[in-house]
Structure 1
Amino acid sequence: SRFPACTLHRWWLHMYAALTHTLDMVCDPTTAHAPAVDVKCRVDPHELVKLAQERLERAEELSAAEEVAPPWVFSSEKHSILEAECRRRIEICASMPATAFLSPLLGSQTPPADFNQLPNLLPVGRSALYHSPVLAGLRHRLVPAYVTDDGFWFCFFAHANAVRKSVLPPPPQKEANVIADDEFDEWLAKPLSPGPC
């Protein structure tokens, strides 16, 4: 080989130290300022496995602490009676043909460029997959065979939003009028642009 074994060993130790530090920063923000691993010392592979398992357990604890409700759970107690029906309707998406489920994309394999809510919505989507094996199966069936991961989530949230709107009662008329008035006031406040001559 072109490189001596000690050089390769040192390189692997440096790579491990960098990876460990990065994982510490991502998985456990409390250790962000921990001292770096001394790469000159000998590292026992069994200790590395043990350390990796401990860090994985810590990451799982942190992710469990930040559990998010799936999209069929409503924040309002008065709508909680509708949750079972909402879940049933969202899970019906799993039985849709691929073309019907992907219809919000209108033939494209990727969501619109302005779909920037995805990072905020992903925990809700992952929670839905965790709580519903049929939805997890839908994702497994469609990604990447028919659509990208982002495209799948775009369609999932489009369907989930439509289901939520169909299950929830319409807003009271007074509230709807206030919303319409606010939109009209907003339109009036916009500056006029010159029309075509």
Structure 2
Amino acid sequence: MGWFGFNGGSQLLVSDTENATAVAKIFLNTNSAAAFGAVSALVVCKLVWGKADLTMILNGALAGLVAITADPLSPSISFAAVIGLIAGGLVIFSIVALDRLKIDDPVGAISVHGVAGFFGLMLVPLSNADATVLGQLYGAGVIFTWVFSASFVVWYLLKLTMGIRVTEEDEYKGMDAADCGIDAYPEFVSVKSAR
């Protein structure tokens, strides 16, 4: 639901008919991309693994949302659906590829925000005459450079001051036990009785 405020709020105005109509179209495009992203991820999961995977379906919806956020107003409603459809399938393959490359991304954030975000940025010129492929590439480069640099500095300072790793023992026991003093999901722990 927050994505409606995020994308709809980017219009910055609803006090006249033109802007209110634009916000309504943004809402529709946002919802359409999310829905088609979820359906696409479901279909890809069923085709590849023979079963539905809720986390992948949710990542498919998020991929559709991220991809349409690059420009939620310009695409037609059907093109917004296509953006979500492709992004939802793309994110599944990206998550699997990053796993195979041994890149630690346990919730698929790189695939959802990085891959689907870049995909959405590169599609903007197809529906917005003011956008160019070079302009989108330049914007993606600026975003990557800023985020990578700022993140590197912050993580480096955290590493120097308080550390960014837990002990091997805490990692083995689980951080819920280490931080909160309780096991996460105790109903899934199996206990063998002594015989």
TM superposition score category, shorter chain reference: under 0.3
Q: Normalising by the residue count of structure 2, what TM-score does the alignment of the two structures yield?
A: 0.27
Q: Which has the higher helix share?
A: 2
Q: Normalising by the residue count of structure 1, what TM-score does the alignment of the two structures yield?
A: 0.27
Structure with bigger RCO (C-alpha 8 Å, 6+ apart): 1
